[in-house]
Amino acid sequence: MESTARRLARAVEALLGTSYSRAKREVLVGHVLVNGAVVTDPGALVGPADEVAHAPALPRRERAPKTPPIELLFADDALVVVNKPAGLLVHPTIEGEQDTVLARAAAELQRRSGRHRRLLVVHRLDRDTSGVMVLAVTHAAAEHLHRQFRFHTVERFYLALARGDLVREELVERSIGRPRPGARRAALAPGTGGRAARTVLRPLERLGLATLVEAELGTGRTHQVRVHLAFLGHPVLGDPVYGDPDTDPFSIGRLALHAAVLGLVHPQTGERLHFRQPPPADFSALLTQLRRRHRAAPHAPAPAPAPRGRSAGATAKSRPRPRRPRPRAADGAPTPAGKRRSPRPARPRRRP
C-alpha cells in the first residue's frame, strides 16, 4: 500500500487488480475486512498500517439505506455541535429506529474522518424543535458538559412564535412538574412541587395574532419554554400539548420553536464557544406571512395628544374660545352693542 491514506475502494481496487466499480461493490456487500472487521463504506480512509483483506465467502449484506446528512457547526475530538432539523428525534425511542440526530451526526463524522465515533447525548430538543444542540464524543467531555447544564452556565436562547399579543417582557419563575400522576406538565406555584424553572420572555415583534418571542433559559426543564408561554396565555403556535393547533391563526404543521443560540465552555480547551443559527425555512415563511397580514390589517388611529395642562380626556374642541373685551366709552361705560368708538386721529409726523 502507499504511504498515505486513501479511500477503501481504491485500496481494494489495487488489491484485487480489478475495476473501481467492482471494488466498490465488494465493499458495499460486506466482502472486505479492515483489520479483521467488515467495513461497508467505500469512502472510509485506510492508512499504511491498516490491513485490508478480501473475503468473498462472507454472506452478502443488504445495502443499508443512506443516512441523510446533517449540518455540523463544529466538530473535534471532544464535542460535536449540530443544527438539528425539525421532525427528527435526538435518539431512538423504539427498537429499530435508525434516523436520529445521533445516527446522522455519527455518519457525517465517519464521512469526514473515515472513523466511526459513538456520540453521547448531553441535552435534548423536542422532535419538532429545530436548532443548535451539542453532542459529546468522549465520556469526559460528556461529564464536563453535563455539569455546565446542571449549574445553568450554558447560554441558551430560543425563538418562538406565540399565539396572541405578548405586550411586555415577562420573567416567569414557576416550577415545572405534573400536578397529578398522568397529567401533562404544568407551571406550578413555588412550593407546590416540581422543579424550579426560570425563563425570561421578550417580545421581539408584536404581529397582532401572534408574537415573535425570544426566550432566555435560566434553567433547562422539559418543555420549559412551551409550559411558561402557555402559563402566560400565549402558547407556541402548533403546540398540540399546551395549545390548540386547530384554532391557531396560522400553522406550519409543527411546533413553531427554534433553538437559536447556544454558548458553552469547551471541555478540553476552556474556550468559550458561541453558536447562533437562524430559523429554518418553514419558520421564516410563517413569520413573513404574519408580518404581511399585520401590515395589511386596519389599525385604529392613535388618539390625538391632549393639550398641555389639561387632563388626557380633554380635547382641543372642549377649550372655550377667548372673548374679545367690549369697547368702552371715554367715561368708562360700555359702548352699546353694534356701536364702536370713532378712531383717534393720527398724530402728525414731526418733520425735522
Residue partners of 248: CB distance under 8 A and separation at least 6: 163, 237, 238
Question: Tell me: the pLDDT tens digits for 320-351?
Answer: 455 555 555 545 555 554 445 555 555 555 44
Q: What CATH code is assigned to 71-296?
A: 3.30.2350.10
Report the candidate in 93, 90, 91, 27 with the shortest Cα–Cα distance to residue 56: 27
Structural domain boundaries in the chain: 6-54, 71-296
The three cell numbers of residue 255 are: 411546533
| % of residues, the chain, pLDDT over 90 | 62
Question: Helix 8-16 to helix 20-28 angle, to the nearest 10 degrees?
Answer: 120
Active site residue 126: yes
Taking only the tens place, the pLDDT of each residue in 30-78 is 999 999 999 988 888 898 889 999 999 998 876 556 789 999 999 999 9
Task: Confirm whether 6-54 and 71-296 share one CATH topology.
Answer: no
Nearest to 277 by CA among 24, 42, 67, 73: 73
Higher pLDDT: 117 or 303? It is 117
pTM of the full predicted structure? Answer: 0.69
The residue with cell 455541535 is 81
| CATH fold for the domain made of 6-54 | 3.10.290
Mean pLDDT, the chain, whole residue set: 85
What is the C-alpha separation between 117 and 83, in angstroms, rounded? Answer: 18
C-alpha to C-alpha distance for 228 and 188, rounded to whole angstroms: 10
- Tell whether the model's pLDDT for residue 213 goes beyond 80: yes
CA distance 274 to 326: 79
Q: What is the mean pLDDT of residues 80-101?
A: 87
Catalytic residue among 76, 77, 126, 244: 126
Q: Determine the Cα–Cα distance for residues 41 and 170; give it in Å rounded to an integer.
A: 52
178-199 pLDDT, tens per residue?
888 878 888 888 777 889 999 9
In sequence order, the 6+-apart residues with CB closer than 8 A to the CB of 342 are: none
pLDDT given at position 8: 93
Phi, psi of 313, deg, nearest 5: -75, -20
Name which of 259, 239, 241 is nearest 251 in CA terms.
239
Q: Is 9 helix (H, G, I), strand (E, B) or coil?
A: helix
Q: Residue 121 is inside which H or E element, if any? A: strand 120-121
Q: Average the pLDDT over 5-22 and give the result.
A: 92
